[in-house]
Amino acid sequence: MPLQVSDYTWQQTKTAVFISVPLRGVCVRDADVFCTENYLKVNFSPFLFEVFLYAPIDDENSKAKIGNDAIAFTLYKKEVAMWETLSVSGVDKEMMQRIREKSILQAQERAKEAAEAKAAARREDQKYALNVMMKIEEEERKKIEDMKENERLKATKELEAWKECQRKAEEQKRIQREEKFCEQGKQTEEERNKLKHKSLTRIAASRNLAAKGRNSENIFLEKLKQDSIPAPRSVGSIKINFTPRVFPTALRESQVAEEEEWLHKQAEARRALNTDIPELSDLKEEEKNPEWLKDKGNKLFAKENYLAAINAYNLAIRLNNKIPLLYLNRAACHLKLKNLHKAIEDSSKALELLTPPVADNANGRMKAYIRRGTAFCQLELYIEGLQDYEAALKIDPSNKIVQNDAEKIRKIIQGTELKS
């Protein structure tokens, strides 16, 4: 049974009550203090201090100090007044029990309210923190999107600038060709005039000689005429072999004009050879052949020596810049080395040379579209990449690999649009 503490002391003012409860060996860890507006209890085994207060107090602002073998309470009154006694008088056991139960219920309700308020405050803090994190993530996402957009615009500008340079270069080449053709025409006309002048001079000289020797050569005239008449030609037959068609398509489906133009361009490309290169003096004859250099580049590519393969294709292009496969193969090397803008340039140049579009160059055009589309996608220009993959599918609609890659690009574009 606990020992009731009765040797306590108390003092008061109009606003506060000061109670000192002596408890030998009391400490914060072992003391159990319970206080409401009408009830105060201290349980420190085996001691028990209990008081039913004379008037209500402000239990939230009241204080207790534990130490030096005592507990000192500072209880603030709710009403400014002097108490007659510390404890209410005339309290029986039933009333004491009711006061205890009421105090416990009040304490439980207050603890529940405090817990709910704390939980509400924690929820508000979490909501605020979540809003802050969402705002930070939104700013980061916007920053990343802006960076992507800037990179896309930069790549687009570079591509447009490259196209403009290519157009100017083609225009310059066309002007140079026209000037060269004009110069050749003038030289041909001059040579023709010289030949005409020589022939006229020769005819005039022969006429003068004929006039001078006409009298002395009359006796031989008939014989000379007979000798100058050639014998009749012998009868015979000439066999003519026609070159077979390169494009095995039916006449109703054949694009004759485009096919003939493609054949003409291929023939011109084989004849176009630039030998005015200083480095050619140290090369063997076979090394001056663009086809030989192309085969060498292909072998180096198969060995994954991409830089050496690019060097071989570069020299072949300097020798003959009209062969589309050289640009197409060099684009594959640039893709392997992540030189994405150069891969786009070479693929575009190959597509320019692979015109007009016919069945014979369909495979080359499809490879050019795929390589340029791959470079665009690696630059995160997915819309441009999808356009090239769709162009490749128009050439070969049944290609499952290209279909799957195009579908992946569409999903990436849809995901980007959903995020934005």
pLDDT per residue of the chain (420 residues) written in tens, 0 to 9: 678 888 888 898 989 989 898 888 888 888 888 888 888 888 888 888 888 888 888 888 889 998 888 889 998 988 888 988 888 777 777 777 777 788 888 888 888 888 888 899 999 999 999 999 999 999 999 999 999 999 999 999 999 999 999 999 999 988 988 888 888 888 888 888 888 777 777 776 666 655 555 544 444 445 545 555 566 666 667 777 766 555 555 555 556 667 777 777 777 776 666 666 666 656 677 777 888 889 999 999 999 999 999 999 998 898 888 899 999 999 999 999 999 999 999 999 999 998 888 888 899 999 999 999 999 999 999 999 999 999 999 999 999 999 999 999 999 998 865 444
Q: For the whole model, what pTM was predicted?
A: 0.41
Residue for token pair 């995901």: 415
Kind and range of the H or E run holding 39: strand 39-44
| Cβ atoms of residues 346 and 331 within 8 Å | yes
The CA-based diameter of the chain, rounded to the nearest angstrom, is 186
Fold category of 3-88 in CATH: Immunoglobulin-like (2.60.40)
| Cβ atoms of residues 388 and 361 within 8 Å | no
Pick the CATH number of 287-414 from 1.10.357.10, 1.25.40.10, 3.40.50.800, 3.40.50.280: 1.25.40.10
Q: What are the boundaries of each domain within the chain? A: 3-88, 92-188, 287-414
Percentage of the chain lying above the pLDDT 90 cut? 33
Angle value at C-alpha 100, between 95 and 103, nearest 5 degrees: 120
